[in-house]
Amino acid sequence: MCLQGTMREERMDPVLIREYRARWQAVAEVEQAEQQQATVVDRWRRLNAILQLAGALRLDPRAQDQEEAIVWQRWAKLKADFP
């Protein structure tokens, strides 16, 4: 941690670390239980909501594919130019 231009080392409390990890483990367990209880209809609704949000944000997955293809082409050219 940096305080007023000086460096100060702080040790994390092992008890706090364990409590932090336990809380997130509990969150993960609840999320997993929710996923297991979700019906196909629930999952379909979530997928559609994500796709609608992507459309509203004008996120086009094909555009990303095109950008990725350009990057791969650049890498291929670099590899060819500098074996």
- The domain ranges of the chain are 2-81
In the numeric block, the tokens 């890498």 are attached to 75
* pLDDT for the residue 33: 96
* pLDDT for the residue 48: 96
In the numeric block, the tokens 């997928």 are attached to 47
Mean pLDDT for 10-27 is 94
Distance CA 9, CA 27 (A): 30
Confidence of residue 5 (pLDDT cuts 50, 70, 90): low
CA 80 to chain centre: 33
Mean residue pLDDT across the chain? 88
Q: What is the pLDDT of residues 51-65, one digit of tens each?
A: 999 889 988 777 777
CA 78 to chain centre: 29
* pLDDT for the residue 63: 75
